[in-house]
Amino acid sequence: MEKEKRTKEKSSRQRKKRNERKTYIKDEAVKETDVANSSEYKDIVPVSDKIGDNALQCVRSICRKGLRPILKDFSSVRKFLPPKMTTIMFDRYPAKNRYTDVMCLDKTRVILKDRPKNNDYIHANWVNLSNNKRYICTQGPLDETIEDFWWMIFKEEVQAIVMLCDFIEDGESKCAEYYPLTAGEKVQYGGITVKNEKDGENLESIICQIISVRLDDDTHRVYHYRWSTWPDRSSPRSGALLVTLLMKLKTLQEKGPITVHCSAGIGRTGTFCAVDHAISRLNEDGIVSPPDIVKEIRRQRLHSVQSVLQYLFIHICLIEYLQSVKSLPQDSFTRRFRRDYEKYLKKFTERLARDKQQTSNPA
């Protein structure tokens, strides 16, 4: 009884806190003047020579142009909304949404299987990419939606969960602790038993664990990758780790969908999917249009890729990928592009820190 009472009190406090923090999306200003002058992966399958040459030319062209055109691209991309979109189910179940302004599209929403119609909603969308890759992009689970989350994982036979946030960031709850963190530990969520079977092979700062999900007499196992050092609304300095993780997921992705989430499930999550989609386009066609890539993701998962820095990071990952498979040279244009990106990253991070300080210490 005492444990149940504490659980109810915790849920009540979190609901109150969430109601105080209603929105997520911020209109990130694109300050072009902030940037001066614009500016061993064993599992990677090399692209063909012809497509590879085209891909090299494509990325070289991006580097030569510098950051300024990319910043301008994002100023229009971030306003993109799919035509004739509806969010009826999102509006109908506000208690299951982490943020009031991060909407869930009806057209691509994940419908919880074997549930009555009045209980089949979860804030998650299917995102279908090239080469039959299927992602489920979702918000970080709330205490009230943990059972729904694992029901989705079990019923859709998800092969891996990629967690791109920490449970607490800057003192703010970003995601419920929805699985047992210690190997051998298990937790019951409604009729579902979730057990941390064992530790997997970590990828630098990314923690890998194997989780079993039991419902009735059936058990499904899923890989869980927790990347908790990717900052909210921002991006890593290098794209190498993301490219490595994508290659690690390739075999699993052939067996079933991958679930990706951060807090809102649109910024870091959308960027992750956009990088994978962009790499696939390079491999298939030898050319890629990042604005079109992001729009295609947004048609399926609304608001994807939140900040200009996340948009720039997509380009950095393309450079990392091509340098690993096609020996993209470190010429003056590539070096300048990286240098300008790092400079923008520093300014962006400093600006976010100032904004947070002003918010926590209002005049």
* Residue 341 confidence (pLDDT): 94
* Residue 252 confidence (pLDDT): 95
* Residue 106 confidence (pLDDT): 98
Q: Is residue 38 in some structural domain?
A: no
DSSP tag of 48:
P
pLDDT at 7 > cutoff 90: no
* Residue 357 confidence (pLDDT): 76
Residues 229, 279, 162, 123, Cα dihedral to 10°: 110
Q: What is the DSSP string of 254-294?
A: TTS-EEEE-SSSSSHHHHHHHHHHHHHHHHHHS---HHHHH
For residues 321-344, give the mean pLDDT.
84
Spatial distance between the Cα atoms of 194 and 55, rounded to a whole number of angstroms: 43
Residues 6+ apart with CB under 8 A from 328: 56, 59, 60, 319, 322, 334
Residues 6+ apart with CB under 8 A from 132: none
For residues 251-266, give the mean pLDDT.
97
| pLDDT: which is higher, 359 or 67 | 67
What separation, in Å, do the N-terminal and C-terminal C-alpha atoms of the chain show? 45
* Residue 287 confidence (pLDDT): 85
pLDDT digits (tens, 9 = 90+) for 95-130: 999 999 999 999 999 999 999 999 999 999 999 998
Backbone angles phi, psi at 263, to 5 degrees: -95, -60
pLDDT digits (tens, 9 = 90+) for 289-313: 999 999 999 999 999 999 999 999 9
Q: Residue 135 — very low, low, confident or very high, per pLDDT cuts 50/70/90?
A: very high
* Residue 360 confidence (pLDDT): 64
Q: Furthest-apart CA pair in the chain: how many Å?
A: 68
Using alpha carbons, list the distances in angstroms from residue 204 to 227, 228, 233, 244: 10, 12, 22, 10
* Residue 22 confidence (pLDDT): 56
* Adjacent-strand bridge partners of 163: 226, 261
Q: Residue 348 — very low, low, confident or very high, per pLDDT cuts 50/70/90?
A: confident
pLDDT digits (tens, 9 = 90+) for 9-29: 454 545 445 444 457 776 444
pLDDT digits (tens, 9 = 90+) for 197-244: 999 999 999 999 999 999 999 999 999 999 999 988 789 999 999 999
Spatial distance between the Cα atoms of 292 and 281, rounded to a whole number of angstroms: 11
The predicted model scores a pTM of 0.87
C-alpha gyration radius of the chain: 21
* Residue 25 confidence (pLDDT): 77
pLDDT at 30 > cutoff 70: no
Q: Is residue 96 in some structural domain?
A: yes
Q: Is residue 39 in some structural domain?
A: no
Number of domains, the chain:
1
Spatial distance between the Cα atoms of 196 and 209, rounded to a whole number of angstroms: 7
User: CATH number for the domain including 88?
Assistant: 3.90.190.10
Q: Is residue 205 in some structural domain?
A: no
* Residue 326 confidence (pLDDT): 64
Q: Is residue 195 in some structural domain?
A: no
Spatial distance between the Cα atoms of 146 and 162, rounded to a whole number of angstroms: 16
* Residue 362 confidence (pLDDT): 55
Q: Residue 353 — very low, low, confident or very high, per pLDDT cuts 50/70/90?
A: confident
Q: Which position has the token pair 């890593």?
A: 236
CB atoms under 10 Å from CB of 177, counted, come to: 13
Structural domain of 281: 49-167+232-346
Q: Is residue 14 in some structural domain?
A: no
Look up residue 81 and give its two tokens: 């909304």
Residue 58 annotated in active site:
no
Q: Residue 37 — very low, low, confident or very high, per pLDDT cuts 50/70/90?
A: very low
Average per-residue pLDDT for the chain: 86
Residue 253: name the closest of 160, 127, 137 by CA: 160
pLDDT at 33 > cutoff 50: no
Q: Is 187 exposed, middle or buried (0-12, 13-18, 19+ CB in 10 A)?
A: middle
For residues 277-295, give the mean pLDDT.
91
Look up residue 301 and give its two tokens: 């998962």
* Residue 20 confidence (pLDDT): 47
Which pairs with CB-CB distance under 8 Å and at least 24 residues apart come from 114-121? 114/155, 115/151, 121/89, 121/92, 121/93, 121/96
Residues in the chain: 363
Q: Which position has the token pair 């989430």?
A: 261
Which one from 104, 262, 273, 317 is the annotated catalytic residue? 262
Above pLDDT 70, what percent of the chain? 85
Q: Is residue 243 in some structural domain?
A: yes
* Residue 48 confidence (pLDDT): 44
pLDDT at 169 > cutoff 80: yes
Angle between helices 308-325 and 49-65 (to 10 degrees): 140
Question: Taking the mean position of all CA atoms in its chain, how far away is CA 299?
Answer: 15
Q: Is residue 277 in some structural domain?
A: yes
